[in-house]
Structure 1
Amino acid sequence: MTHDVAAIRARFRELHKEGCFVLPNPWDVGSARLFQHMGFKALASTSSGFAWTIGKPDNGVTCEDVLGHLTALCAAVDLPVNADFEAGFADAPEGVAANVTRAIATGIAGLSIEDNVLTAPFGLHDTPRAVERIRAARQAIDQSGADVMLIARTELLFSEPGAITPAIDKLIAFAEAGADCLFAPGVKKREDIAAMVRALAPKPVNVLVVSPEITVRELADLGVRRISVGGALARAAWGGAIAAAEQILKEGSFAAFAQAASGNKLNEIFEGFV
């Protein structure tokens, strides 16, 4: 498959200028091609979903693992791919910059950098240190000459769900350091999402769906520019496989196969990529 990487990256940036779009998170080449076939406009990798495909827990993959995975995803589809690049696989800003440079070479259109600390005592980088890391990632992108979007994210709401204002303050600092898009996974309440969008405007905000009751339309009305689902689609696929296997083991029944996708349909989809 031949790609015009510059055009793909330009398309990705255009998606962030108005409206709202969903980034499904494929966990392998097959799921990436499936989501392209279904009509999604862009994709985002999932660190957890990918880790499970190679028999590792979330946060158990190496930088080399992820670079190989991103290269495979970008080569397999004609859609922009946003990389879940975890915490940049380094604590020091210069390490983040070096790894971001390597990620750009895979063909990605965007990448996110978290504020997790990778060495003891773990936790999160404080704002000054986290900003240094985002600034280093920004400089690496600028020096590469590639039009790759930088998404800065704080994991604060996972440990402190009520810390909406501190999370917003940290994201504002990231925006000032050069982030193109801001992300605080864990924000749930509609009023909190709206406050985050207002505070960070005109920069686009990404929301991770953590409540299945909310809809794309509702998030769009709140001003959210992009929506991701993290490892949820991968977990749905694993959930189907686990349920079917448990039924075989516990009941001796293969009834769950009635809900399986058609092999002919899957072959039809993937033949379009050959």
Structure 2
Amino acid sequence: MTGFADLHHAAEPLFLSNAWDHASAMALAAQGFGAVGTTSLGVAAAAGLRDGASATRDETLRLALTLGTEAFFLSVDAEGGFSEDPGEVGEFARELAAVGAVGINLEDGLGPVERHAAKIAAVKAAAPDLFVNARTDTYWLGDGEGTRSRLDAYRQAGADGVFVPGLTDPDEIAALVGHLGDFPLNILYSPTGPTVPHLTDLGVRRVSLGSLLYRRALGAALETVADIRAGRAPQGTAPSYADVQTWGHRSDPAHSARR
């Protein structure tokens, strides 16, 4: 039986769509996605909180609780672990694993390398089977300087894969893949960057959508209301009431077919 970690070494990269609530996760699963991630921006915005401010620990855990027993692999975007204390981050990871999550995404925010490495080590000690996707923001918040040294430190600390959002140059992606070898590299899809087939050819092992689906959903809602107000028929499609009812209903954990 294929495990979540194995999906990072398959013939095709893991294409991870990111949900922000129960219905969006179940809708993605209904499209055949065997693994679903969460987006910290979507979870935070839906709760009226700021992303990246360590404010959504409870909301993130609550969503994991509702999704962890569903019939797909769940990877949780946990910002920087919602604490600067590695022990507290490890405890949060243990709670995620206990409710059924199989992966965690931890971002460094360009903070001290040693501190982020300590968080990764604490997570692996508290929840050894949790796939740690160690994110560095060297391209997201900077010019890419120090990427390799950070990723090497996080790999040494026990990370199972690394994530470099903001990196879109094909040559730089290929060079980083060459540096990492068989170690999984996760790239954030960008509409202005390489396509998924191109990323596959470059050797990327995981492609994430991040907050894109959530932002596109908001954009579609604004376009729809603008069309209706202007007297135009709204474009695009909308799921039926019955579909949303189905996606929004939590499964009985006793009857969920876990992988």
TM-score scaled by structure 2? 0.87
Distance 1:73 1:159, change over 3 A: same
Answering whether residue 235 of structure 2 is matched by residue 243 of structure 1, we say: no
Distance 1:262 1:44, change over 3 A: closer
SS in 1 for 2:84: coil
Distance 1:208 1:246, change over 3 A: same
Provide the rounded CA distance (Å) in 2 between the counterparts of 1:81 and 1:167: 27
SS in 1 for 2:203: coil
Provide the rounded CA distance (Å) in 2 between the counterparts of 1:174 and 1:62: 24
Contact 1:37–1:269 under 8 Å retained in 2: no
Partner of 1:14 in structure 2?
6
Contact 1:188–1:211 under 8 Å retained in 2: no
Residue by residue, what CA displacement relative to the aligned partner does 1:53-72 show, whole Å, maximum 9, x if unpaired? 22333235421111001111
Match of 1:216 among 196, 199, 207: 196
2:143 partner amino acid: P
Partner of 1:266 in structure 2?
243
Contact 2:174–2:203 under 8 Å retained in 1: yes
Distance 1:115 1:35, change over 3 A: same
Contact 2:75–2:101 under 8 Å retained in 1: yes
Provide the rounded CA distance (Å) in 2 between the counterparts of 1:262 and 1:170: 43
Match of 1:38 among 18, 31, 47: 31
Contact 2:124–2:130 under 8 Å retained in 1: no
SS in 2 for 1:22: strand
TM-score scaled by structure 1? 0.83
Answering whether residue 233 of structure 2 is matched by residue 255 of structure 1, we say: yes
Deviation of the 1:269 alpha carbon: 6.8
SS in 2 for 1:158: coil
Match of 2:132 among 145, 150, 169: 150
Partner of 1:167 in structure 2?
147
Residue by residue, what CA displacement relative to the aligned partner does 1:212-240 show, whole Å, maximum 9, x if unpaired? 45221111111111100100011111101
Distance 1:63 1:271, change over 3 A: closer
1:135 partner amino acid: A
1:195 partner amino acid: A
Match of 2:165 among 185, 208, 228: 185
Contact 1:244–1:254 under 8 Å retained in 2: no
Higher mean alpha-carbon deviation, 59-68 vs 15-24, is at 59-68
Aligned residues: 249
Contact 1:134–1:152 under 8 Å retained in 2: yes
Deviation of the 1:160 alpha carbon: 1.0
Deviation of the 1:113 alpha carbon: 1.3
SS in 2 for 1:50: helix
2:139 partner amino acid: L
Choose between structure 1 and 2 for higher RCO, CA contacts under 8 A separated by at least 6 residues: 2
Contact 2:162–2:186 under 8 Å retained in 1: yes
Partner of 1:111 in structure 2?
104
Answering whether residue 116 of structure 2 is matched by residue 130 of structure 1, we say: yes
Higher mean alpha-carbon deviation, 218-227 vs 36-45, is at 36-45
Deviation of the 1:41 alpha carbon: 2.3
Aligned runs of 1:52-63 on 2, under 5 Å?
A: 52-59=45-52, 61-63=55-57
Provide the rounded CA distance (Å) in 2 between the counterparts of 1:87 and 1:227: 20
Higher mean alpha-carbon deviation, 98-107 vs 235-244, is at 98-107
Provide the rounded CA distance (Å) in 1 between the counterparts of 2:193 and 2:29: 25
Distance 1:133 1:271, change over 3 A: closer
Residue by residue, what CA displacement relative to the aligned partner does 1:87-139 show, whole Å, maximum 9, x if unpaired? 011102122112221221121011011113xxxxxxx3222222222211221
Deviation of the 1:248 alpha carbon: 4.0
Give the aligned CA root-mean-square deviation in angstroms.
2.3
